[in-house]
Structure 1
Amino acid sequence: MATIGDTGATGVRNPLDVPRGLAGVVVTDTALGDVRGREGFYHYRQFSALELARTRSFEDVWYLMFHGELPDRGARDGFAARVAPLRHLPEEVREALPAIARSGSVSGPLAGLRTTLSLLGATAGLRPVYDIDAGQRREDALALCAAVPTALTALHRLSQGLEPVEPRDDLPYAANYLHMLTGSAPDAERTRAVERYLVSTIDHGFNASTFTARVVASTGADVAACLVAAIGALSGPLHGGAPSRALDTLDAIGTPDRIDGWIRDRVLAGERIMGFGHPVYRTEDPRSRMLRDIARGFGGPLVDLAVEVERQVETILAELKPGRELHTNVEFYAGVVMELCGLPRTMFTPTFCAARVVGWSANILEQAEDSKIIRPAARYVGAPPPQPVPAL
Structure 2
Amino acid sequence: MSINRATAPLVDVPRGLAGVVVTDTGIGDVRGTEGFYHYRQYSAVDLARTRRFEDVWHLLVHGELPDAGQSAAFAARTAALRRLPAEVRAALPAIAAAARPAGALAGMRTALSLLGAARNFRPVYDIDADRRREDTLVACAAVPTLLTALHRLGGGLAPVEPREDLSYAANYLYMLTGSDPDPRRARAIEQYLISTIDHGFNASTFTARVVASTGADVAACLVGAVGALSGPLHGGAPSRALDTLDAIGTPDRIDSWIRERVLGGDRVMGFGHAVYRTEDPRSRMLRDIARQFGGPRVEFAAEVERRVEAILAELKPGRELHTNVEFYAGVVMELCGLPREMFTPTFAAGRVVGWSANILEQAQDPKIIRPVARYVGPEPPVAVPALW
TM-score range, shorter chain: over 0.9
Q: Structure 1: how far apart are the matches of 2:204 and 2:376?
A: 27
* Counterpart for residue 372 of structure 2: 377
* Counterpart for residue 200 of structure 1: 195
**CA offsets 1:98-140 (integer angstroms, 9 cap, x no match):** 0111001111000000000000011112110000000000000
| Dislocated runs of 4+, deviation >3 Å | 5-8
* Counterpart for residue 263 of structure 1: 258
SS of the residue 1:93 aligns to = helix
User: Does residue 310 of the first structure (1) align with residue 305 of the second (2)?
Assistant: yes
Structure 2, unpaired ranges of 5+: none
SS of the residue 2:30 aligns to = strand
* Counterpart for residue 361 of structure 1: 356
SS of the residue 2:252 aligns to = helix
Q: Structure 1: how far apart are the matches of 2:372 and 2:385?
A: 29
Letter in 1 for 2:331: V
Q: How well do the aligned residues superpose, as a CA RMSD in angstroms?
A: 1.1
Shift of 1:84: 1.3
Letter in 2 for 1:259: I
User: Does residue 330 of the first structure (1) align with residue 325 of the second (2)?
Assistant: yes
After superposition, residues 122-201 of structure 1 pair within 5 angstroms as: 122-201=117-196
* Counterpart for residue 281 of structure 1: 276
Q: 2:316 aligns with which of 317, 321, 326?
A: 321
User: Does residue 243 of the first structure (1) align with residue 238 of the second (2)?
Assistant: yes
Q: Structure 2: how far apart are the matches of 1:253 and 1:199?
A: 30
**CA offsets 1:124-162 (integer angstroms, 9 cap, x no match):** 121100000000000000000000000000000111111
* Counterpart for residue 76 of structure 2: 81
Question: Retained in 2: the 8 A contact 1:66–1:138?
Answer: yes
User: Does residue 341 of the first structure (1) align with residue 330 of the second (2)?
Assistant: no
User: Does residue 253 of the first structure (1) align with residue 244 of the second (2)?
Assistant: no
Letter in 2 for 1:130: Y
Letter in 2 for 1:375: R
* Counterpart for residue 93 of structure 2: 98
Q: Structure 2: how far apart are the matches of 1:217 and 1:13?
A: 24
Q: Structure 2: how far apart are the matches of 1:12 and 1:174?
A: 52
Q: Structure 2: how far apart are the matches of 1:387 and 1:24?
A: 38
Q: 1:50 to 1:13 in 2, by over 3 A?
A: same
Structure 1, unpaired ranges of 5+: none
SS of the residue 1:378 aligns to = coil
SS of the residue 1:88 aligns to = coil
* Counterpart for residue 228 of structure 1: 223
Q: Structure 1: how far apart are the matches of 2:120 and 2:244?
A: 44
Q: Structure 1: how far apart are the matches of 2:254 and 2:4?
A: 55
After superposition, residues 36-47 of structure 1 pair within 5 angstroms as: 36-47=31-42
Q: 2:214 aligns with which of 216, 219, 224?
A: 219
TM-score normalised by length of structure 1:
0.97
Q: Structure 2: how far apart are the matches of 1:241 and 1:7?
A: 41
Give % identity. Answer: 77
Shift of 1:388: 1.5
TM-score normalised by length of structure 2:
0.98
What is the aligned residue count? 386
* Counterpart for residue 57 of structure 1: 52
Q: 1:142 to 1:262 in 2, by over 3 A?
A: same
* Counterpart for residue 120 of structure 1: 115
Q: Structure 1: how far apart are the matches of 2:203 and 2:346?
A: 18
User: Does residue 68 of the first structure (1) align with residue 63 of the second (2)?
Assistant: yes
Shift of 1:7: 6.3
Question: Retained in 2: the 8 A contact 1:6–1:16?
Answer: no
Question: Retained in 2: the 8 A contact 1:202–1:356?
Answer: yes
**CA offsets 1:57-98 (integer angstroms, 9 cap, x no match):** 000000000000000011011111111121000110001000
SS of the residue 2:12 aligns to = strand
**CA offsets 1:193-231 (integer angstroms, 9 cap, x no match):** 110000000000000000000000000000000000000
Shift of 1:278: 0.5
Q: Structure 1: how far apart are the matches of 2:278 and 2:4?
A: 38
SS of the residue 1:87 aligns to = coil
After superposition, residues 8-19 of structure 1 pair within 5 angstroms as: 11-19=6-14
Q: Structure 2: how far apart are the matches of 1:359 and 1:13?
A: 33
After superposition, residues 12-31 of structure 1 pair within 5 angstroms as: 12-31=7-26
Question: Retained in 2: the 8 A contact 1:88–1:150?
Answer: yes
Q: Structure 2: how far apart are the matches of 1:122 and 1:315?
A: 52
Question: Retained in 2: the 8 A contact 1:6–1:15?
Answer: no
